[in-house]
A and B are shown apart, each in its own frame.
Chain A
Amino acid sequence: MLNINLSRKLRHCVIACAAFALLFSGAGFAGPAEDTKDATKLYQQGKLDQALSKVNGALVLQPKDAQGRFLKGLILTELKKSADAIQVFTGLTEDYPELPEPYNNLAVLYASQGNYDKAKAALELAIHTHPSYATAYENLGDIYAQLARRSYDKALQLDKSNLTAQGKLSMVKDIFNLPKVASTETAKSAPVQVAAATKADPKTEPGKPVAVTAAKPANVALSGNASADVKATVEAWARAWAAKDTAGYLGFYAPDFETPGGMARAVWETQRKERIEPKKSISVEVKIIKTSLQGNVATVAFRQIYRADAVKSDNTKTLRLVKTGDRWLINAERSGA
């Protein structure tokens, strides 16, 4: 598992060093890996130009670094430099053909240009590299729905430029299966993340208040045995999801839940509702592999067997839950164990 969130200590450093980094392009004391982390932070704060300079600096020293290039692709995407972003992600697919994420993001970019055929091809490659890649499946489903829409319009001779629906597609913001070079570096930062994540930073979550009041509290009776309670919570979460009880389902997420790519909570919640509610039927089966407890933080790895209409996936997932009052709430959710 990899997490590219940064510790709060580093955040301060990033801001302090930003001007310096701009001048020296990371050619110095932070080192390229640190610079990439700083760039990630800047990116999450929406300081896109600074983030781009930082990551470019890191890439001067480590031009092949997948993490840095991936981040650069994300930044360029946010900067609406689609052509440049496509170039970056394409380069990643050429150098790291085993990674599904760059294909996925390439697909989202192609789709945003209305180029559904290329998007479809990229997603098929993502799935080919990683047959249990749920995001790519969901995106591919959306691409097929778009292509279908286009065919229906041709059949019914409707002439509309159909560029509205690509908003549903998900850009992947993390690489889960980094190539070896990168993963050794990131392993070091793993303990820090958990500690950092237990403290919420309200400033970075503008959508939070609305979202939390909208969600119903999840109803799980706690036994006092932390391990059993965590298990019961994860199972109840899966049941709410399968029942398409989105209010209940969203109620399992902590106010400081790390939304994918740091998107606004309200946007993420809307996206989840849009994904879940239209499905005719959903089933979610959870088989817990490992639960580890560290004070009020529980990390649960499990096998998730998901079926919705014609889509089926079977992969591992990790939830990090934090005990909040008398409930365990999810504050991180990742594919992979």
Chain B
Amino acid sequence: MARITRGLGCAGVASALIGVMPVAGQPAPLASIAFSNEVEASLVRALESLRNDGIKPALRELDAALVKNPNFRLGHFIKGDLLMAKAGTPTAFSGQKSQPELVASLKDEAKARFSRYFDAPPSDSLPTALLQLSPDQQHVLLLDSEKSRMYVYKNVDGVPSYVADFYVSVGKNGIEKERQGDQRTPLGVYQVTSSVAREKLIDFYGPGAFPLNYPNEWDKRNAKTGSGIWIHGTPSSTYSRPPRASDGCVVLTNDDFARIAQFVIPGITPIVIASSVTWQSPEQWLATRATLSASLSDWKSDWESLNMDKYLAHYSPKFDAEGKGISSWAENKRRINASKNFVNVEISNLSVFEYPLAPDALPMAMITFDQNYKSSNNSSKMKKRQYWQREGDQWKIIYEAAAS
């Protein structure tokens, strides 16, 4: 009896499709995954069907997604591969000779979207980037640019708790923005500064945009240039863009942009943009967090003790805040504090982010808090930001200033 030999064809395509990314261990059972995006869910389920049940159910799954989202180019491409398998010529990302760059970018998108499910971080792990969320930061965005993924975490008593995650595109030339026009997305901790409505935008940006505060104080200290880094959607003709597509902006599908818009509060919501998110077990994560909070607490009590040697020992020789190096900072602090009988510092609304840096850089943390300062001859309230760097086994302050 004649039939299309299903096993060979689709096993070949499935493994070729899965083969576009490294598979670490067994994938989680898909039934247990709550997908953040239904189109991506269809794509992943199609691949899973292909491995288990053959081409037909895989095509049905894809067709359902494509009817709703006719501009999902990757979906059409994979459908093409499945149909070629049915035609008796199994192929995965190799059958196309024309437009090799476009094909390669679709392959990258497939890799990013699939590896989220077939090479996922352990489910109970926590991102080291998010160590403490302040009460007003109800949600935080965390971007893993290597995986083209943006995670949304909500704040549960200062501890991040996973909400959803989405496929994202970043700059054409990747991350670590250095200067204007380098088509890179900045690496760092930023804040959504405002919200731009659809009516004020051209179609290219989709349903809206959230500008970020790039360059921040750390970028300025490092003489980085450029501006206009936004989170935004896609043009109406495009469902999703390749992993590296923008001039530096963070781009989501319009479906996903609408979802993150529910979580974003302009002026408050932080976004951490990392090249690769580091995950820790809850125990490791708590230990990392405890070390930093102990350093901050020692800094505060040493300041309150008015023991200037101990207090200034928290500052790095590399300290530099708005042009003041460590010696002028130390001299100024000694002079001010010499006349005081007491100092009392209250810290509230604390947030701690491990700062994303290039892999060879020393670990750094961005700590922001409301400081209520009282002394024998003076008092003030301010929002303060410090950057701490780990030198050996000590965390040292390398930047400190009022936060905007």
Binary B-proximity of A313-331 (CB < 8 A = 1, otherwise 0) = 1110000000000000000
Interface check A154, CB cutoff 8 A: yes
Contact count A vs B, C-beta below 8 Å:
90
Beta-carbon contact of A145 and B2 below 8 Å? no
Q: Quick check: A155 and B3 within 8 Å, CB to CB?
A: no
Stretch of A17-25, A198-206, A294-302, A303-311 lying at the B interface = A303-311
Q: Can you report 20 residue pairs joining A to B where beta carbons are below 8 Å apart?
A: A137-B4, A141-B88, A144-B87, A145-B87, A148-B82, A148-B95, A152-B77, A152-B95, A155-B77, A156-B73, A158-B98, A280-B89, A309-B88, A309-B89, A309-B90, A310-B5, A310-B89, A311-B2, A311-B4, A312-B5
Q: Is B174 close to A, CB under 8 A? A: no
A151 contacts partner chain B, Cβ-Cβ < 8 Å:
yes
B250 to chain A, nearest CB (A): 23
The 9 A-B residue pairs with the shortest CB-CB distance, nearest first, are A313-B2, A148-B83, A151-B80, A155-B77, A144-B87, A155-B76, A154-B76, A145-B87, A144-B86
Asked if A157 lies at the interface with its beta carbon under 8 angstroms from chain B, I say yes
- Per DSSP, chain B at the interface is helix
In the complex, whether B111 has a CB less than 8 A from a CB of chain A is no
Given A148-B81, A310-B85, 17 more A-B residue pairs with CB atoms under 8 Å apart are A127-B2, A131-B1, A137-B2, A141-B87, A145-B87, A148-B80, A148-B84, A151-B80, A156-B73, A156-B98, A156-B99, A156-B103, A157-B73, A308-B88, A310-B4, A311-B2, A315-B2
Interface size on B, residues (CB 8 A): 32
The 8 A CB mask of A118-158 against B (1 = contact, 0 = none) is 00000000010001111001001111110111111011111
* Set A137, A152, A313, A314: member contacting B80, Cβ < 8 A: A152
Q: Is the CB of A312 within 8 A of B83?
A: no
A310→B8 contact, CB < 8 A: yes
Contact assessment for A312 and B3 in the assembled complex, using a CB-CB cutoff below 8 Å = yes
Whether B106 sits at the interface, judged by CB under 8 Å, is: yes
Query: Please, which residues of chain B bring their CB within 8 A of the CB of A280?
Result: 89
Contacts of A313 in B (CB 8 A): 2
B106 near A155 (CB under 8 angstroms)? yes
Partner of B83, one of A134, A151, A309, A311: A151
> Which of chain B's residues has its CB closest to A154's CB?
B76
B396 within 8 A of A: no
B74 at the interface (CB under 8 A from A): yes
Which of B2, B74, B89, B98 makes the CB contact (< 8 A) with A314? B2
Q: How far is the CA of A315 from the CA of B3 in the complex (A)?
A: 12
Cβ B80 vs Cβ A155 within 8 A = yes
**Chain A residue total in the interface (Cβ 8 A):** 32
**B76 to chain A: closest CB distance in Å?**
4
In the complex, the chain A residue whose C-beta lies closest to that of B73 is A155
Query: Is the Cβ of A154 less than 8 Å from the Cβ of B87?
Result: no
As a 0/1 sequence over residues 69 to 110 of chain B, the CB contacts with chain A under 8 angstroms (1 = contact) are 010011111011111111111100001101100110010000
B87 neighbours in A (Cβ, 8 Å): 141-145, 148
Residues of B bordering A, CB below 8 Å: 1-5, 8-9, 70, 73-77, 79-90, 95-96, 98-99, 102-103, 106
Nearest CB in chain A to that of B12: its residue: A310
Measured CA separation A137–B76 after assembly (Å): 24
Taking the nearest CB of chain B, how far is it from the CB of A153, in angstroms? Answer: 8
The complex places the Cα of A147 from the Cα of B55 at a distance, in Å, of 14
Give the distance in Å from the alpha carbon of A145 to the alpha carbon of B79 in the complex. 11
Least CB distance, B30 to chain A, in whole angstroms: 24
Find chain B residues with CB under 8 A from A309 CB: 88-90
A151, B2: Cβ atoms under 8 Å? no
CB-CB under 8 A from B77, the residues of chain A are 151-152, 155-156
Closest to B81 in A: A148
Cβ B2 vs Cβ A134 within 8 A: yes
* Cα-based distance from A158 to B88 in the complex (angstroms): 24
B90 to chain A, nearest CB (A): 6
- Among the listed A131, A140, A152, A310, which residue makes an inter-chain contact with B96, where contact means beta carbons less than 8 Å apart? A152
B89→A312 contact, CB < 8 A: no
Alpha-carbon gap, A131 to B85, bound state (A): 19
Complex-state Cα separation, A280 to B98, whole angstroms: 21
State in angstroms the CA–CA spacing of A154 and B66 once bound together: 11
* CB-based nearest A residue for B90: A310
CB pair B8–A149 under 8 Å, yes or no, is no
**In the complex, what residues of A have CB within 8 A of residue B88's CB?**
141, 144, 308-311
Do A145 and B84 have beta carbons less than 8 Å apart?
yes
Quote the shortest CB–CB distance from A77 to chain B (angstroms): 24
Chain B: minimal CB distance from A143 (Å): 8
Inter-chain CA distance A261–B102, complex, in Å, is 44
**Interface residues as binary, A25-49 with B (CB distance below 8 Å gives 1, 0 otherwise):** 0000000000000000000000000
Which residues does chain B contribute within 8 Å of A143, judged by CB atoms? 87
